[in-house]
Amino acid sequence: MKYLTILILLIISSVSFSQKITRGPDIGEIYFLGPTYSGEGLYYSTDFGETATFVDGSMNYISIAADKTEGGIYCTTLPVALYYSNEFGYSNTWEFKYYDDYLSYLIISGVEEGHVFSDCWMHSEDYGSNFSVHSLNGWFGSLRHATIDNFNENIGYALTYKINVSDTIYLGQVINLKM
């Protein structure tokens, strides 16, 4: 039953444009966005999703990403702004971190504590307070999705496509992402 729940959550998250599920730093720890009586809220689980605790429904969530710090989670909201909570995302623990026209709705947790990426074109090493822009030499097309390597956040991967051609997809790897 628990594997079916995780599979359903993964399928739902893969068909949407925003990240709806993220792993925490401990084994079995996940955060996910799910339905509430008034919209969508944040849930937290420490047993691979077999049981989950509702932690907050006050934010207008677009995407979430868990930090490598225990209890640390980022979220982007509409209008696109970045928030961080070091208390598992419970209500009234969110701290505003960043707003910029270039901030993406997709945020990706880094390999080290306090590191977060905004798609593949910006990163922060201070829990989202300041961002550095990347040059992104070596890939082309319109961005569909991006992620970083699990062990070396200086390597990024991007799925891109050609506008007006629905069946194109390109996989690109960018080395020295933070340069």
Q: Domains in the chain, ordered, with CATH?
A: 2-128 (2.130.10.10), 136-179 (no CATH)
Give the residue among 144, 139, 138 at the shortest CA–CA distance from 166.
Answer: 144
pLDDT at 174 over 50: yes
| Confidence (pLDDT) at 4 | 45
Q: What is the pTM of this model?
A: 0.77
CB 146 within 8 A of CB 106: yes
| Confidence (pLDDT) at 15 | 39
- The DSSP 8-state label assigned to residue 45 in this structure reads E
Q: 3-state class of 66 per DSSP?
A: strand
Q: What is the arithmetic mean of pLDDT over 19-42?
A: 89
Confidence of residue 149 (pLDDT cuts 50, 70, 90): confident
Top-confidence range, 21-25, 119-123, 134-138, 156-160: 21-25
Q: What is the arithmetic mean of pLDDT over 64-86?
A: 92
